[in-house]
Amino acid sequence: MATNIEGSSADEIQAKANDGAGGEAKAPAGDGASTDKYGGLSPDELVQLFRDMYTSRKLDDAEINLKRQQKIYFQISGAGHEAALVGAAKAMKAGYDWFYPYYRDRALCVALGMTPLEVLAEAVGSSEDPNSGGRQMPAHWGHKDLNIVSQSSCTGTQELQAAGAAEVGRIMSQVDELKDKTDLYKDDEVVYVSIGDGASSEGEFWEAIGTASTYKLPVIFMVEDNGYAISVPSTEQVHGGSISKACAGFENLYITEYDGCDPIESYVEAKKAVEYARSGKGPALLHAHVIRPYSHSMSDDEKMYKPDAEREAEAAKDPIKTFPEFLVAEGILTEEGVEEVKAEVEQAVRDAVDEALELPTPHPDTVLDYVWSPDVDPTSDEFDVEPQWDEEGGEKTMVDLLNNTMRTEMRRDPRIVIFGEDVADVTKQELEGEVKGKGGVFKVTHGLQSEFGYRRVFNSPLAEANIIGRAIGMATRGLKPVVEIQFFDYIWPAYMQLKNELSNMRWRSNNAFSAPVVVRVPIGGYLKGGAPYHSQSGAVLFTHIPGLRVVMPSTAADAAGLLRTAIRCEDPVMFLEPKHLYRQTYNKSFNPGEDYTIPFGKAKTVREGNDLTIITYGSTVERSRRAVKKTGIDAEIIDLRSLQPYDWDAIANSVKKTNKALVVYEDGKSWGYGTEIATRIGDELFEYLDGPVKRVAAMDSFVAYHPDLEDRILPQIDDIAEAVEWLDKY
């Protein structure tokens, strides 16, 4: 029997949870429980539920058979989850609502309209697979026409993306220029997202539940509880075995716990939850108890950890067995009718297998397709725009021009939203005018909320994965998030979202979906007191990720031009801002104009020279310039500006001219970004070299608090000058 809990106060919710556990169904206040014998479903609809369930099971069986024949390369099943999923699908609308499934959701996708051939096309890795074009494992769902957003293998990461996707309608409906974009959102849409009970231990699940509950987002959180995370039972998860009870304290969250082996009950409970979310009351949690009659995957053997009695008890509850028996008992189908449905499904699956095995496979030459946007190339001449200097306001700092660039781009494009920790002027609108306003810890976003409002500039929780995950969900649906991670030193909780989700959304979906998010990150040291946790560099940990652009300006004008390119391109961008340079006077500039862009991958020659080449970026550009001035040596200095991609032609042409190379970078010397540059110079330009390729970088240490220690650890002017003199004499 289902237990339903409508969010109100934490105490009331907990009381309802305690009262309802194991008792009679508690319908949400005002909704009423259906009195219809089959939850409002007609006999034909019940038969269709069975057809979809059986199709899902037979597709599982077909894939298992293909794997045993070594005709596919992986299999993971959705067996036992079918009833809960067809019920949920029936309560929502394909191509209208949005879906973030996980790998057990085969029956959901079938019920939403994915054909057996489309399912099997992914299993065989076909180029015609609508899920991923042969790029992902089977059961990694994605279908653009059905609003099924590309799924990765990472458990729980999609939860935050679903929360971000659910914010899109709310934002658009309250931004005047976007209100009529009904092709991008619907006023009453909901966003479905699912996980297994094990993934409910992931922090991103709790962040997503918290965000959705706080802002009353229309998210349907489905937890398919089959009792195990591979071999670890639910009782060993962080919620102690009952995720619905653990979530009972969240405001505005409707919770229902029910038998997910019953498709009618699953539909009824999902329908009430969807109605609750559509009405704007908040999110809902579906806690469906299901079974897993097959092992976790074909790489697992559940007999090693499940006793026979438990497996037999599960088999007795299998909805593929119990639901057709129910249909016969109710006179909806005869036993012959059940067999006819099964025969039709089995033939359809056999036909789909035959067709799938004949589908074309991806050509090896396509491996790099869609790593980057095929439509907008930020490295092209299109972004090589001359500045139109505005000298009336005087020279501006990097902070000033970053702020101005975001301001002018937000005026140009109403899809841009800005959020992060403390980036808003005020969090509560009623305080506007009473306080000066925060606008970021470095004031880079100051005043933006005052002009563009609370739907376009807002604060996030203190949770870095939350920022990136929500931004991915927004960007996938057409917004242009420009988000801030307050300090590079604290970006690591978001690394999973950045590396496994943001960077490859376009590639893994075969260009069906993309997430062009700009991630602004203050980075680096030279702060006098920054210490280990406010002075870190580490660009190399992002430049090696395919699909992620990485830039780092050293001047105010370059910051403006590169940020504008980042916002206007269609790839995700890590925009690294050396905080030491935010308010330096030597890198100030007049405003270069509202259309000024700089192509990615185009370095700037800071100083012409003939004796040797210095390749650098960020805070070490000015230090290199001063070091060269100190030595009097005629060195050429190249500011890379863009780290992924970088301007190899500029490096090569300079080294061919000077015949000597010095790479200067702020990060640790070993395994650092400059090591790749030095290695490539040695590999491809060896014949032009008249000396070894030298590096000047930080010590392989942490950055200390006391200035004397920091000065020893980070590369200084004298360190660079010494290397310049040594190399010049070589």
Q: Cα 135–95–355 angle (5° rounding)?
A: 45
Q: H-type helices in 91-224, by residue range?
A: 106-112, 116-123, 158-173, 203-214
Sign of dihedral through CA atoms 316, 321, 323, 327?
negative
**Pick the catalytic residue: 289, 534, 544, 580?**
534
Helices 263-278 + 43-68 axis angle, to 10:
110
Structure tokens at 475: 């960007």
Closest CA to 282 of 212, 190, 205, 210: 212
Listed in sequence order, the residues at least 6 apart from 557 whose beta carbon sits closer than 8 Å to its beta carbon are 387, 401, 589, 590, 592, 596
Q: Rounded CA gap, 92 and 649, in Å?
A: 53
DSSP string for residues in 127-148 = TT-TTTTT-S-TT---BGGGTB
DSSP 361: P
Beta strands in 472-587 (DSSP E): 480-484, 518-523, 549-551, 573-578
Q: Rounded CA gap, 481 and 503, in Å?
A: 15
Sign of dihedral through CA atoms 120, 125, 130, 131?
positive
Burial 178-190 (b: 16+ CB within 10 A, else e): beebeeebeeebb
Establish whether 534 is a catalytic residue: yes
Q: Rounded CA gap, 221 and 217, in Å?
A: 11
Closest CA to 420 of 447, 404, 398, 439: 439
- The Cβ of residue 694 has, within 10 Å, a number of other Cβ atoms equal to 19
Structure tokens at 194: 């699912």
Query: In degrees rounded to 5, what are phi and psi of residue 461?
Result: -65, 165
- The Cβ of residue 724 has, within 10 Å, a number of other Cβ atoms equal to 26
Partnered with residue 418 across adjacent β-strands are 457, 482
Q: Answer yes or no: are the C-beta atoms of 669 and 697 closer than 8 Å.
A: yes
Query: In degrees rounded to 5, what are phi and psi of residue 668?
Result: -55, 145
Q: Rounded CA gap, 655 and 647, in Å?
A: 13
**CA dist 726 to 245, 342, 693, 722, Å?**
68, 81, 12, 6
Q: Answer yes or no: are the C-beta atoms of 459 and 424 closer than 8 Å.
A: yes
Q: Rounded CA gap, 243 and 220, in Å?
A: 15
Listed in sequence order, the residues at least 6 apart from 108 whose beta carbon sits closer than 8 Å to its beta carbon are 85, 86, 88, 89, 99, 101, 194
Q: Rounded CA gap, 507 and 150, in Å?
A: 10
Within its chain, how far is the Cα of 95 from the centroid? 21
Element containing residue 59 per DSSP (H, E)? helix 43-68
Q: Rounded CA gap, 593 and 81, in Å?
A: 57
Q: Answer yes or no: are the C-beta atoms of 306 and 296 closer than 8 Å.
A: no
Provide the total of helices (H) and of strands (E) in the chain, helices listed first.
24, 20
DSSP 4: E
Partnered with residue 457 across adjacent β-strands are 418
Active site residues: 534
